[in-house]
Amino acid sequence: MTAILPPAERLWWKHPLDRVEGTWIAIAFVWCLVMFFMMVWWHAYGRQNLSTETYKTTPQLFSEKAQRMVDQYTVRTETDLQTPVVAPPAGSDVYLIARLWSFWPILELEKDKSYRLHLTSMDYNHGFSLQPANINIQIVPGYEHVITVTPNQTGTYSVVCNEYCGIGHHMMVGRIYVK
């Protein structure tokens, strides 16, 4: 009868459903269906889905590709570390390395142009958190994640690491310019 005693009816699964309960379950079930179909619908028609294009990679392979891009498209260097600022052509493959504890290089993109952004980590897990746009993507070592990005606002964006990656985690900040 009470919840701390065995049920009074031996056949508790035949216990009748209260009307209120039945209604509530129906409402909840319908709402679950709505949420489920929204997720599928949004995936098909929304424009806010994470790409699933992923390749296995190694730090050597990825840094070679990134270095090639940097050698080709660097327009200037910034910061004390002489970090290259890279302005790759629209539609090209853009490589962003996350490593202890920086993002390399700085990217300069054009508004309303699409780029294929390749993300990976050289060492630990890192996080790609684009601020203040607030887009958050996990960066996992050994996996190259390819995301198509189309900046729709100009400005200076920060890339903040939001996955704990050791003692310098809180200083790991990168930059993306959108012109």
Partner 1 sequence: MSNATTYRTCPRSGLQFESQAEKLMIANAVAAVVFLLIGGILAIGVVLTRWPSIHWLEADTFYQVLTAHGIDMLIFWIIFFEIAVLYFCSSTLLRCRIATPKLAWTAFALMVIGAVVNNVAVYQGGSSVMMTSYVPMMAAPSFYLGLILFAVGALIACFVFLGTLVIAKREKTYQGSVPLVTFGAITACIIAVFTITSGAIILVPTYLLSLGVIDSVDPLIYRTIWWAFGHSSQQINVAAHISIWYAVAAIAFGAKPMSERVSRGAFLLYILFLQLASAHHLLADPGMSTAWKVVNTSYFMYFAVLASMIHGLTIPGAMEVAQRAKGYNNGLFEWLRKAPWGNPVFSGVFISIIGFGFLGGISGVMMGTEQLNMIIHNTIYVPGHFHATVGGRHDPVVHGADVLPDSGAVPPRDDQSDAGPLAALPVRPVDVLLLPGDDGCRHAWCVTPALGHGVQRQRAGLRMAGCGLPDDGARRHRRHRRDCRWCDLHLHHRWLDPVGQAPRYGRPEQRDHADPADCTDLGRADLWLDGVCCAGHVRAGHGVPGVLHPLLLHQLEIPLHLWGLLSPEDRSGTS
Give the binding site for partner 1 (CB under 8 A). Answer: 1-10, 12-18, 20-21, 24-25, 28-29, 31-33, 35-36, 39-40, 42-43, 46, 48-50, 52, 54, 119, 123-125, 127, 129, 134-145, 162-170
Provide the minimum distance between the beta carbon of 158 and partner 1 in the complex, in angstroms, as a whole number: 14
Structure tokens at 5: 């005693």
Contact 179, 111 (CB under 8 A): yes
Q: Which two tokens stand for residue 75?
A: 């327009």
Residue 85 or residue 165: which is nearer to partner 1 going by CB?
165
**Which CB, 56 or 82, lies closer to partner 1?**
56
Identify which of residues 53 and 78 has a Cβ nearer to partner 1 in the complex: 53
Q: Smallest distance, Å, CB 85 to partner 1? A: 26
Which residue number, 43 or 111, has a Cβ lying nearer to partner 1?
43
Closer CB to partner 1, residue 1 or residue 81?
1
Give the per-residue SS3 of 78-133: ECCCCEEEECCCCCCEEEEEEECCEEECEEEECCCCCEEEEEEECCCCEEEEEECC
Query: Do residues 88 and 158 make contact, with C-beta atoms less than 8 angstroms apart?
Result: no
Contact 53, 145 (CB under 8 A): yes
Minimum CB separation of residue 108 from partner 1 in Å reads: 24
Residue count of the chain? 179
- β pairing state of 155-160 and 173-178: antiparallel
Report in angstroms how near the CB of residue 72 gets to partner 1 at its nearest: 25
Q: How far is the CB of 140 from partner 1 (least distance, A)?
A: 5
